[in-house]
């Protein structure tokens, strides 16, 4: 239990940009993957954290949707292409991350012909908030 609490603290510290003292030999140390200032985060006394994974097959797309709060996407394999209404299309390769803005209509794609795209998605919202709102 103590070890998982330490790993959890390290994960949050990395996400929040907190620096760590130099790691002793044999100790794990996180690497900063993405640091970005965002707006429209939940402001209540309690928030719900969701960590999701998704696999997008070659040529497959997500539903056209919005998010109520920012969503962080980290690409594990392949490349993730995000089309956002009124903004430039963004393609994120494996090993990189991006923050999807709230209240923007969007859809994600795997434009590759052979390789599946695997992503980890991190979402913080007011408890009970749906992860996405489909646009019909």
pLDDT at 22: 63
pLDDT at 68 over 60: yes
Domain spans in the chain, listed from the N-terminal domain onward: 42-134
- What's the pLDDT tens digit per position in 93-134? 999 999 999 999 999 999 999 999 999 999 999 999 999 999
Provide CB contacts within 8 A for 116, sequence distance 6+.
55, 56, 57, 58, 77, 78, 110
- Count how many Cα atoms sit within 13 Å of the Cα of residue 84 in the half-sphere of its side chain: 17
Bridge-partner residues for 83, per DSSP? 107
Query: How is domain 42-134 classified at the architecture level of CATH?
Result: Sandwich (2.60)
- In this structure, are residues 85 and 104 in contact, taking their beta carbons and an 8 Å threshold? yes
Of 136 and 91, the structure prediction assigns the larger pLDDT to 91
């Amino acid at each position: 239990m103590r070890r998982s609490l330490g790993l959890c603290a390290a994960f949050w510290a990395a996400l929040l940009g907190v620096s760590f003292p130099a790691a002793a030999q044999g100790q794990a140390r996180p690497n900063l993957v993405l640091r970005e200032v965002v707006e429209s985060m939940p402001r209540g006394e309690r928030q719900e954290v969701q960590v999701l994974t998704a696999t997008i097959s070659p040529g497959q797309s997500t539903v056209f949707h919005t998010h109520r709060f920012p969503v962080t996407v980290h690409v594990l394999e392949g490349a993730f292409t995000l089309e956002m209404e009124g903004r430039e299309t963004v393609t994120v390769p494996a090993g990189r991350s991006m923050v999807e803005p709230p209240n923007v209509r969007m859809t994600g794609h795997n434009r590759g012909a052979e390789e599946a795209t695997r992503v980890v998605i991190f979402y913080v919202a007011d408890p009970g908030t749906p992860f996405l709102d489909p646009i019909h």
